[in-house]
């Protein structure tokens, strides 16, 4: 962990505490002053009571000092809580914005569970930096003031305490050294457990169906002994410092009080000064409070390092270029190559020129790079080499808001964001009207089942369990809505995989007809021959390379292209054809994507209408 980056982040966060940090600092300094003043006042009061002066002013001053102590303590806690809350809020907003700006690469470098742990738990710990820093500094004032006060009462008292002070310093230094490394390891292990828990919750249906709940619980909690070991190490560090504190502090107190007793017997100090000296020696040896403040800072520093680690990752940089007026969504790939973490080419030397306003299908076997090509088209990912242009402008140079208005996406497994159906369909850079939402849902064949829900488009998503096909249709409706009215490119990544043939046919009509999508460029990743047959051009990918570009009918002449739509093994194929159980072979699909054995319709390989 970069300690300097953590320290810089903490200092910035402390400044974000605003004026409340200053209020806390002022009240903490005043509180420290009251702590230093109190033993002297109490001592003088005792002397007055013993007949060495007027008792009234000293009793009054004692009462005022105690009241001031209570008021300052309450104000210090309140100001510290507000400063910590402001600091925590700033850290969470900053980290969340940065993670969202990182985009998809953030999920590849950090698991969701780990990011949640950093965003929630770690920011709360680091957010305590304002009060921790103030208290760590002001906790030094009472011991320093107490040493000065001892010197004023009797120099021998001060010399006696100073002789044992190095032992106190060594105790605090050893604690800081031990607890810093333990904190780092503790929070890293905590992040691993959070990662495994999120994975388990995401796959809860698979775990339940497989009957592997006990095994999964063991997997999630496997790092728990390590977490316990690190936590126990921190408690042992506390125990060591407490034991040393318990041994050293009483010895110092006894030594100082012994010298004070000799002074009292010799007439150098009064009984009240003796009482004040006993209070000051307690303040001067306040190791426990100092250790607590140091521990809070150590926690804050460790968690700030984990936050700074994410913040140090560069976000996607955008330009300020605008797309030309009247552009129809021409998409060009020039020498585009994308490499995996191992250095292999996931896409290798892609050169494409997709005309404006056309429906282009992207086909290929699983792993050929189709989804990656779709991600590149709207800059959800960047190539390692080459350039991608939209209407002649390099995507890297396009203004962020401009690009997001120009390109709309639909995904195979959409995530629905928003409270209701209307919110989920309208989610995007602009807020569409109710008529647009209904039109998009109608085009995606989602309007009928949405209207059957209790509150229609206002039905909360949490009260409307959806099938895979229904999820896809809601996601597709969102893509249709956001592609209008100013969209240039609509990218659909296998959005009909869970749809029955009839629904898929109606959606294909929306993509190819004269409706609101007419005239816009559409890039459709598909496994279905019928979808490819409806496209004006087909890009055939094979192992990360362009194997061919042309119409479906022209490419159909090649055996390798036809093999894309055949099942790799028994069962239902990617094109929706079934094996002929009697002959041990599957019927060959025709160029229009239909099976020769069933020219009227194509059997669905997925759920019917989104209902299993």
| CATH (domain of 165) | 1.20.1560.10
* 88 and 146 both lie in a single domain: yes
DSSP letters of 573-601? -TTS-B-BTTTTBPPPBPTTS-BTTBSS-
Distance CA 510, CA 440 (A): 10
Distance CA 509, CA 528 (A): 15
Residue 360 bridge partners (DSSP): 523, 537
* 44 and 147 both lie in a single domain: yes
The tens digit of pLDDT for each residue in 491-537 reads 988 877 767 777 777 777 777 765 666 667 889 998 888 888 888 89
DSSP letters of 203-233? THHHHHHHT-HHHHHHHHTTTHHHHHHHHHH
Of the candidates 230, 227, 251, 242, the one whose C-alpha atom is nearest the C-alpha of residue 174 is 242
Classify residue 420 as left (phi > 0), alpha (psi -120 to 50) or beta: beta
- Does residue 591 lie within any of the structural domains? no
Of the candidates 503, 559, 558, the one whose C-alpha atom is nearest the C-alpha of residue 531 is 503
> DSSP label at 353?
E
* 360 and 234 both lie in a single domain: no
- Helix or strand run (H / E) with residue 67: helix 55-102
Distance CA 507, CA 217 (A): 43
Average pLDDT over residues 392-414: 88
Average pLDDT over residues 100-123: 80
* 112 and 222 both lie in a single domain: yes
* 126 and 246 both lie in a single domain: yes
The tens digit of pLDDT for each residue in 457-486 reads 898 888 888 887 888 888 888 888 888 777
Number of domains in the chain: 2
Q: What are phi and psi of 262, to 5 degrees?
A: -65, -40
Looking at residue 106, its pLDDT comes to: 65
* 270 and 355 both lie in a single domain: no
Average pLDDT over residues 411-416: 82
Going from the C-alpha of 237 to that of each of 172, 413, 425, 443, 462, the distances in angstroms are 11, 49, 54, 65, 47
Contact criterion met (CB below 8 Å) for 300 and 78: no
Please give the model's pTM, rounded to 2 decimal places: 0.69
Residue numbers of the domain that contains 494: 331-412+488-564
* 375 and 248 both lie in a single domain: no
Residue 437: other Cβ atoms inside 10 A: 24
| CATH (domain of 351) | 3.40.50.300
Contact criterion met (CB below 8 Å) for 58 and 46: no
* 121 and 8 both lie in a single domain: yes
The tens digit of pLDDT for each residue in 285-309 reads 765 566 667 777 777 888 888 888 8
Residue 572 has pLDDT above 90, yes or no: no
Residue 595 has pLDDT above 60, yes or no: no
Strand pairing category for 385-390 and 393-394:
antiparallel
Distance CA 35, CA 37 (A): 6
Residue 611 bridge partners (DSSP): 608
The tens digit of pLDDT for each residue in 227-260 reads 888 888 877 877 777 776 666 777 777 888 888 8
Tokens of 543: 């192992």
Tokens of 137: 């500094």
- Sheet containing 521-525, strands listed edge to edge, beginning at the edge strand earlier in sequence: 407-410, 489-493, 521-525, 359-363, 537-542, 545-550
Looking at residue 101, its pLDDT comes to: 84
Looking at residue 515, its pLDDT comes to: 60
Looking at residue 601, its pLDDT comes to: 37
- Does residue 317 lie within any of the structural domains? no
Residue 533: other Cβ atoms inside 10 A: 20
3-class DSSP assignment, residue 58:
helix
Q: Is the pLDDT higher at 59 or at 104?
A: 59
- Does residue 466 lie within any of the structural domains? no
Average pLDDT, the chain: 80
Distance CA 418, CA 426 (A): 9
Looking at residue 526, its pLDDT comes to: 87
Residue 572: other Cβ atoms inside 10 A: 15
Distance CA 444, CA 483 (A): 13
- Does residue 369 lie within any of the structural domains? yes
b/e 275-310 (16+ beta carbons within 10 angstroms → b)? bbbebbbbbbbbbeebbbbbbbbbbbbbbbbbbbbb
- Does residue 492 lie within any of the structural domains? yes
Distance CA 299, CA 318 (A): 36
Residue 550 bridge partners (DSSP): 538
Residue 540 bridge partners (DSSP): 363, 548
Contact criterion met (CB below 8 Å) for 23 and 72: no
Spatial CB neighbours of 6, under 8 Å, sequence gap ≥ 6? 301, 302, 304, 305, 308
* 350 and 222 both lie in a single domain: no
Average pLDDT over residues 438-465: 87
- Does residue 164 lie within any of the structural domains? yes
Spatial CB neighbours of 311, under 8 Å, sequence gap ≥ 6? 9, 94, 95, 98
pLDDT grade, residue 107 (50/70/90)? low
* 368 and 259 both lie in a single domain: no
Spatial CB neighbours of 403, under 8 Å, sequence gap ≥ 6? 318, 378, 379, 390, 395
Residue with tokens 């279905």: 528
- Does residue 585 lie within any of the structural domains? no
**pLDDT > 90 in the chain, percent:** 10
* 46 and 186 both lie in a single domain: yes
Looking at residue 593, its pLDDT comes to: 53
* 269 and 347 both lie in a single domain: no
Of the candidates 493, 512, 492, 504, the one whose C-alpha atom is nearest the C-alpha of residue 529 is 504
Preceding peptide of 344 cis, ω within 30°? no
Q: Is the pLDDT higher at 569 or at 59?
A: 59
Label residue 341 exposed, middle or buried (CB < 10 Å: 0-12, 13-18, 19+).
exposed
- Does residue 103 lie within any of the structural domains? yes
pLDDT grade, residue 216 (50/70/90)? confident
Tokens of 130: 């304002």
């Amino acid at each position: 962990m970069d300690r300097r980056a953590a320290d810089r982040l903490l200092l910035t966060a402390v400044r974000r505490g605003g004026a409340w940090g200053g209020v806390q600092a002022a009240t903490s300094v005043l509180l420290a002053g009251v702590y230093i003043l109190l033993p002297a006042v109490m001592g003088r009061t005792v002397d007055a009571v013993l007949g060495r002066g007027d008792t009234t002013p000293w009793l009054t001053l004692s009462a005022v000092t105690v009241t001031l102590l209570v008021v300052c303590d309450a104000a210090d806690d309140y100001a510290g809580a507000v400063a910590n809350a402001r600091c925590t809020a700033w850290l969470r907003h900053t980290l969340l914005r940065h993670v969202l700006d990182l985009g998809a690469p953030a999920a590849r470098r950090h698991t969701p569970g780990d990011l949640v742990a950093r965003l929630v738990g770690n920011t709360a710990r680091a957010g305590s930096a304002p009060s921790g820093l103030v208290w760590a500094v002001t906790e030094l004032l009472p011991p320093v003031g107490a040493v000065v006060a001892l010197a004023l009462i009797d120099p021998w008292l001060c010399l006696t305490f100073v002789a044992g002070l190095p032992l106190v310093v060594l105790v605090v230094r050893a604690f800081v050294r031990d607890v810093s490394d333990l904190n780092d390891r503790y929070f890293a292990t905590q992040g691993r457990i959070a990662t495994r828990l999120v994975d388990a919750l995401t796959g809860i249906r698979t775990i339940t169906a497989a009957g592997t709940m006990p095994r999964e619980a063991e997997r999630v909690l496997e790092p728990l002994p390590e977490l316990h070991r690190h936590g126990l190490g921190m408690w042992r560090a506390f125990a060591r410092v407490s034991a040393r504190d318990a041994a050293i502090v009483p010895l110092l107190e006894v030594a100082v009080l012994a010298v004070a007793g000799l002074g009292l017997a010799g007439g150098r100090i009064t009984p009240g000064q003796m009482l004040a000296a006993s209070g000051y020696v307690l303040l001067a040896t306040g190791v426990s409070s100092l250790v607590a403040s140091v521990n809070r800072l150590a926690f804050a520093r460790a968690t700030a390092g984990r936050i700074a680690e994410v913040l140090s990752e560069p976000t996607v940089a955008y330009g300020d270029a605008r797309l030309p007026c009247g552009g129809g969504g021409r998409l060009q790939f020039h020498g585009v190559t994308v490499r995996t973490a191992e250095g292999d080419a996931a896409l290798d030397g892609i050169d494409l020129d997709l005309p404006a306003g056309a429906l282009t299908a992207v086909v290929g076997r699983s792993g050929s790079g189709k989804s990656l090509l779709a991600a590149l088209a709207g800059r959800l990912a960047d190539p390692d080499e080459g350039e991608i242009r939209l209407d002649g402008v390099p995507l890297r140079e396009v203004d962020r808001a401009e690009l997001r208005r120009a390109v709309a996406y639909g995904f195979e497994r959409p995530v629905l964001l928003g409270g209701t159906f209307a919110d989920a369909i309208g989610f995007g850079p602009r807020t569409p009207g109710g008529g647009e939402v209904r039109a998009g849902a109608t085009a995606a064949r989602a309007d009928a089942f949405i209207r059957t829900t209790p509150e229609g488009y206002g039905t909360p998503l949490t009260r409307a369990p959806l099938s895979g096909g229904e999820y896809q249709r809601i996601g597709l409706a969102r893509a249709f809505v956001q592609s209008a009215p100013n969209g240039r490119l609509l990218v659909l990544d296998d959005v009909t995989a869970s749809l029955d043939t009839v629904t898929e046919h109606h959606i294909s009509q929306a993509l190819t007809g004269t409706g609101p999508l007419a005239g816009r460029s559409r890039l459709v990743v598909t496994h279905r021959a019928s979808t490819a047959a409806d496209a004006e051009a087909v890009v055939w990918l094979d192992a990360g390379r362009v194997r061919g570009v042309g119409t479906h009918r022209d490419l159909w002449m090649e055996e390798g292209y036809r093999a894309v739509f055949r099942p790799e093994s028994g069962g239902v194929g990617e094109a929706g054809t079934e094996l002929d159980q009697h002959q041990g072979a599957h019927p060959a699909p025709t160029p229009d994507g239909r099976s020769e054995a069933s020219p009227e319709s194509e059997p669905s390989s997925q759920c019917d209408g989104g209902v299993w």
